[in-house]
């Protein structure tokens, strides 16, 4: 009888431990790859693609592998988010040395109370509609607003739950995208106020600031409208402003179609979307579909970029104001 009781106690202890580990520790991530081709221009590395990150290479191209290990306890936990591949390199350009080039996020947190959470380490930015991981984006190619950043921050932030509908976040961080260490001893201040799924963001750097609004509305059960608007101003550098709309329609659980319509303008010569012409602007329309087959999402995309200046190279090797391109991506999440 004693042996039976002892066996049951050991078994129950093992089951409880296994259940706790399964509940609190997770390993997830994604793998993505794509094909991209210009419809009205040559397709080689010397031709200019739309000035947005993560989907600019011609032909069959690689995205990245993303591995996320997380231990989420009731009070404390951590997230280790690693990336490897061209998309990952673009994401962590502010981490110039060694193994840090693979670290997308690395932070620990403490739930001080039901309404207060402290996070310290390297975390993705709280500004903007789109994110680094293609799993969380509807469009595969990214917007100009996203490409101009910021991408990530290193520092400490406090999240406050004010009510069922409202929240507040305050942060002290290294300069934007300086994720590995602080290069100059200066710090940035971040703030976010959220209400019913609408987020108003503010980032104050030593020599610049950015104001950002990100949100969306369920117009119907099958129609969603997302919005993003931002304004960036620097003391001795060029700035930018832009607005993007994201209407999306769910035809079935497996098939959705959406549009990203974006207007973006540089204040001065920022240099990323064109050929060095000051006060350039661009209007980009991206038609995207998502078709899910289990954990795999197939993403066909047609993108039309129209600029105020001759940004793009057409088939005759002359600069042109417009570029049309096609993209087909595959994103597997686990």
pLDDT tens, residue order, the chain (334 aa): 444 334 433 444 433 444 444 458 999 999 999 999 988 877 877 666 776 778 988 899 999 999 999 998 889 999 999 999 999 888 887 666 666 678 999 999 999 999 999 999 999 999 999 999 999 999 999 999 998 889 999 999 999 999 999 999 999 999 988 888 898 899 999 999 999 999 999 999 999 999 999 999 999 999 999 999 999 999 888 889 999 999 999 999 999 999 999 999 988 765 555 445 667 888 999 999 999 999 999 999 999 998 887 766 555 556 678 889 999 999 999 9
Going along the chain from its start, the domains and CATH numbers come out as 28-333 (2.40.160.10)
92-100 own/partner pairs: CB under 8 Å, 24+ apart: 92/151, 92/152, 92/179, 93/151, 93/177, 94/151, 94/152, 94/176, 94/177, 94/178, 94/179, 94/180, 95/179, 95/180, 96/180, 97/180, 100/179, 100/180
Task: Output the pTM of the full model.
Answer: 0.86
Under 8 Å CB-to-CB from 78, ≥6 apart: which residues?
70, 71, 107, 108, 109
The candidate with the shortest Cα–Cα distance to 54, out of 79, 86, 76, is 86
Q: Is residue 92 exposed (0-12), middle (13-18) or buried (19+ Cβ within 10 Å)? A: buried
DSSP 149: S
pLDDT of residue 307: 82
C-beta neighbour count of 146 within 10 angstroms: 27
CA angle 288, 290, 292 (to 5 degrees): 170
Stretch (H or E) spanning 42: none
Query: What is the per-residue pLDDT for 276?
Result: 52
Q: Taking the CA of residue 122 as centre, how many other CA atoms within 13 Å lie in the half-sphere pointing to its CB?
A: 24
């Amino acid at each position: 009888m004693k042996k039976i009781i002892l066996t049951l106690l050991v078994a129950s202890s093992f089951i409880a431990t296994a259940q706790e580990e399964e509940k609190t520790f997770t390993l997830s991530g994604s793998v993505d790859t794509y094909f991209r081709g210009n419809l009205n221009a040559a397709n080689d590395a010397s031709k200019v693609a739309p000035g947005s990150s993560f989907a600019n290479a011609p032909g069959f191209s690689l995205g990245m592998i993303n591995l996320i290990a997380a231990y989420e306890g009731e009070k404390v936990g951590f997230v280790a988010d690693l990336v490897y591949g061209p998309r990952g390199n673009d994401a962590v350009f502010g981490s110039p040395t060694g193994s840090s080039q693979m670290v997308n996020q690395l932070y620990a947190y403490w739930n001080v109370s039901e309404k207060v959470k402290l996070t310290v380490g390297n975390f993705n930015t709280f500004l903007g509609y789109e994110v680094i991981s293609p799993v969380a984006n509807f469009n595969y190619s990214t917007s100009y607003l996203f490409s101009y950043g910021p991408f990530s921050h290193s520092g400490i932030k406090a999240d406050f739950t004010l009510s069922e509908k409202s929240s507040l976040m305050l942060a002290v961080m290294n300069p934007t995208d300086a994720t590995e260490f602080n290069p100059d001893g200066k710090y940035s201040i971040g703030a976010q106020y959220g209400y019913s799924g609408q987020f108003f963001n503010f980032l104050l750097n030593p020599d610049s600031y950015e104001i950002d609004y990100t949100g969306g509305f369920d117009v119907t059960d099958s129609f969603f409208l997302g919005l993003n608007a931002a304004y960036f101003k620097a003391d001795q550098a060029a700035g930018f402003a832009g607005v993007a709309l994201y209407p999306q329609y769910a035809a079935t659980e497996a098939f959705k179609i959406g549009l990203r319509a974006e207007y973006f303008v540089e204040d001065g010569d920022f240099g990323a979307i064109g050929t060095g012409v000051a006060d350039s602007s661009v209007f980009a329309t991206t038609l995207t579909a998502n078709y899910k087959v289990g954990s795999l999402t197939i993403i066909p995309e047609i993108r039309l970029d129209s600029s105020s200046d001759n940004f793009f190279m057409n088939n005759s090797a002359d600069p042109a104001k417009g570029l049309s391109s096609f993209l087909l991506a595959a994103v597997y999440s686990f």
